[in-house]
Amino acid sequence: MAPPHRERSEPFENGCICIICVMVKILRDKIIDVLKREDYGVTVNVKGWVRTRRGNKNICFIALNDGSTIKSVQIVADLEKFSEESLRKVTTGACLSVNGILVESPGQGQQAEIHATEIDVLGEADPATYPLQKKGHSLEYLREIAHLRPRTNTFGAVFRIRHHMSMAIHTFFHERGFFYFHTPLITASDCEGAGQMFQVTTKNLYNLKMDEKGSIDFSDDFFGKQASLTVSGQLEGELGAMSLGAIYTFGPTFRAENSNTPRHLAEFWMIEPEVAFNEIEENMQLAEDFIKYCVKWALDHCQDDLEFLNDMYDKELLQRLNSVIAGEFVRLPYTKGIEILEKAVADGHQFEFPIFWGADLAAEHERYLVEEHFKKPVILTDYPKEIKSFYMKQNDDGKTVRAMDVLFPKIGEIIGGSQREESYEKLKQRADEMGVPTKDIWWYLDTRKFGTAPHSGFGLGFERLMLFVTGMANIRDVIPFPRTPRNCEF
Amino acid sequence: MAPPHRERSEPFENGCICIICVMVKILRDKIIDVLKREDYGVTVNVKGWVRTRRGNKNICFIALNDGSTIKSVQIVADLEKFSEESLRKVTTGACLSVNGILVESPGQGQQAEIHATEIDVLGEADPATYPLQKKGHSLEYLREIAHLRPRTNTFGAVFRIRHHMSMAIHTFFHERGFFYFHTPLITASDCEGAGQMFQVTTKNLYNLKMDEKGSIDFSDDFFGKQASLTVSGQLEGELGAMSLGAIYTFGPTFRAENSNTPRHLAEFWMIEPEVAFNEIEENMQLAEDFIKYCVKWALDHCQDDLEFLNDMYDKELLQRLNSVIAGEFVRLPYTKGIEILEKAVADGHQFEFPIFWGADLAAEHERYLVEEHFKKPVILTDYPKEIKSFYMKQNDDGKTVRAMDVLFPKIGEIIGGSQREESYEKLKQRADEMGVPTKDIWWYLDTRKFGTAPHSGFGLGFERLMLFVTGMANIRDVIPFPRTPRNCEF
């Protein structure tokens, strides 16, 4: 039981039952707190939305949920005290304020329930039009009403877990002395190919000025040049690492890829740590520690929500989460990975895509290594330079770069990273070879010109992590308002 | 002294001096940790960038900084052990790895220093071209080299504080049971006037298809309609609050306003909490608690950086921060505020802009109330409805709305918020009166149609908070890579 509010540092905190609060107004208790209380007999106030209503001619049971937990509190209304008329508007989706007595629930496995003394309907929900009736809805249908779906058990669970994963990320890096570094979203440099970027403009499209060569004149655009939405904060993140030592980004990122798949979003969140003086071994250790920390946080903080998702969507979810934090990740050079896959083919395993040294691995190859061969997460390193980015550190063999991809069960690649090329000459040469316009990234090259050092980093797509932790199958179901081709609702 | 790594949960943590680490490689110590150590006589390794180098023909002093703290560690190199030639490349900006013996510094007020046994130049910085020599640079000049400015004391301090303020924000809300809710950045609804928004498109601007009416056909654009960058996550945030109970956003926001001032950015970060069942009084308390929590966090965690900024930029900074957390904020209805300002005018105070009931307050009015009249922060409430947004709860007087602005010394408005209109009819009517296209926000109106409830929220411009906490005068100096009209570098 919470102490009276005058004894607490924060006045009017939830749960206060001192005389001042009770006389003035019975303050609201969050349902997550009410369900833990055992001071039966006191008066409480809860506010929330009706999930279900059932009962008979003597009694009415209302399951009320306020979003603080997946569990609803049971409100018991004695029909001798409440007229049918007064309860007419208590329908699924309606918002109630309920005063009542906290009572130990007779139901098995249930916690406290509330015997109502006063029920106030704050907001009605017309049963004829409210889109979320109690019957189960398909995930596809719920995407159409993404503005209401957080009121369901499924999406309440997913978005509470999303919060917890964000908090785990910030806490992990904060505890290790990393600084959260806000890299820009609007960018005038384009290092990954313009085809996949959204243009950002304030130009009047009805009156586009052309120069004498027939090119659109962007000198009068907001930034005085063409601008677009970033596909990564890494390059700017490296600037942070090469001054503050260790930074991470955590923010929205964009891809204008016309992919209508369960794995692609046009707007998604990324985490990108960069660390000065880290070489690839330390980068691998950081990635492994990081992802285990997040998964453990979920298991420690989101038990009710995970159990629900395990029961409803993915019976192996909890087992998979526990297995990931139990053992060491395998560390395997790409070349050895190819040998394993080639042997699998020789032994009769069928892959859709051909496998050979130099090939980019398809999801089926990654999953074979993780799920069938090693049966644990794999960090694959030292990829052929041709299939990786210009900024990765070149190995002495002249063929491979110090890339590292973390491959996970069910998900495939969950993290991609590398040691970065710290030599100005090698970096410039590789950028030129790969057609990266170095005039746009003079500032990036400057870090190698002035006080360069070995450094490493990686990127984690936050929604990939969310898919893994929640067991959901479609990336549109782990972000509140997904942006995909032809979909920009809400 | 850190225990040997085999006794610790995390192998290869910094500071390990066990035989394994020393034999294989002396692991790096962060300078923030080295400066706290007193186990003089041990061998340590530090890596960082040279801030200054001075000395005489017998000895060389190098100030080395790795970004972990504003303090540099002093490296002492005895020129009997190091040839001039071997130290030739130890210049300002160069990156070094130094092994040496930890020694108690004889200098007054200094902590440990390192007597070098081995100095390795990881990256040179040619004194002829390195843009950050040791002399003081103007903030204007440093904006031109924003990719290098985090290597200065000033920007190291600012960006470490920026991290800490982010962490304070997440921790404050997490401890209070709020959920971090990611609202979308790309939006097809436009509730604040298109003139100030950036358009987002993948259309080929050289081949814009028009329909028969001469309008650009956006049906083949990425989202199948016109889209832009959001100016606020509030409306979507309310959807989160009306299901999860209490949420906050913390993410980038955009204004395409052509304002070249020390207060405007085209891309900035906002924090927007929304809470179901909170009325304006609880909203005010939340705002006051929140901002005091952040300021107190800065005082508790960023002492060295704040002292530097206090000394170099704003001699009243620490005093101002302490004063804000010391007392209660004033709570004052707008109408009473106008009376005070009108009396000031009657008493001979000169304002540039006229003051009368119905006027929007100018910065000079806000600062008069805060700095001259009350001498403490003021929460101004119940503004005329004409100067506030359509979604604010209308008071019974028919003239005012339950808005609340938190006004701060030096900054003026630092938070703007309100209780939200929960009545569907009143909200719809006010939106129509103010020309808000309600067909674009049917989903927002739905929250009032289905299970509506009183709720409140506010918005805080993160860079406004940063200006207040750091004492910096220009908003371009509190974000790593500012985006402003005609400026999209890095």
CA distance B199 to chain A (A): 5
3-state helix, strand, coil in chain B (%, to 5): 35, 25, 40
- pLDDT at position A11: 40
Q: How many CB atoms lie within 10 A of CB A33?
A: 18
**Which residue among A150, A256, A422 sits closest to B239, beta carbon to beta carbon?**
A150
CA distance B323 to B457: 25
Name the B residues in 58-97 with CB < 8 Å from any A CB: 66-68, 93-95, 97
- What pLDDT, in 10s, does the model give residues B290-319? 999 999 999 999 999 999 999 999 999 999
Residue listed under structure tokens 């049918």: A84
Query: Chain A residue closest to B130 (CA)?
Result: A450
CA distance B173 to B245: 12
- pLDDT at position A145: 97
A431 Cβ contact list (under 8 Å, min separation 6): A390, A391, A438, A441
Q: Does B206 touch chain A (CB under 8 A)?
A: yes
Residue B369 has pLDDT above 50, yes or no: yes
Asked if the Cβ–Cβ distance from B32 to A177 is below 8 Å, we say yes
Residue B184 has pLDDT above 60, yes or no: yes
User: pTM for the complete prediction?
Assistant: 0.94
Name the B residues in 448-477 with CB < 8 Å from any A CB: 448-454
CA distance B490 to B487: 9
Asked if the Cβ–Cβ distance from B200 to A229 is below 8 Å, we say yes
Residue B4 has pLDDT above 60, yes or no: no
Residue B22 has pLDDT above 50, yes or no: no
**Which residue among B122, B170, B481 sits closest to A170, beta carbon to beta carbon?**
B170
Name residues of chain A where pLDDT drops below 70: 1-26, 109-110, 134, 190-195
CA distance B16 to chain A (A): 15
CA distance B383 to B365: 14
- Chain A residue numbers with beta carbons less than 8 Å from the beta carbon of B222 are 198, 256, 258, 266, 485-486
* ipTM, 2 dp: 0.94
- pLDDT at position A1: 38
Asked if the Cβ–Cβ distance from A450 to B188 is below 8 Å, we say no
CB B459 within 8 A of CB B271: yes
In chain B, the percentage of residues whose pLDDT exceeds 70 is 93
- What pLDDT, in 10s, does the model give residues A270-294? 999 999 999 999 999 999 999 999 9
Asked if the Cβ–Cβ distance from B125 to A451 is below 8 Å, we say yes
Q: What H or E segment, with its residue span, contains residue B249?
A: strand B246-254
CA distance A28 to A258: 47
**Which residue among A132, A159, A199 sits closest to B202, beta carbon to beta carbon?**
A199
CA distance B486 to chain A (A): 4
- pLDDT at position A14: 45
Average pLDDT over residues B196-212: 89
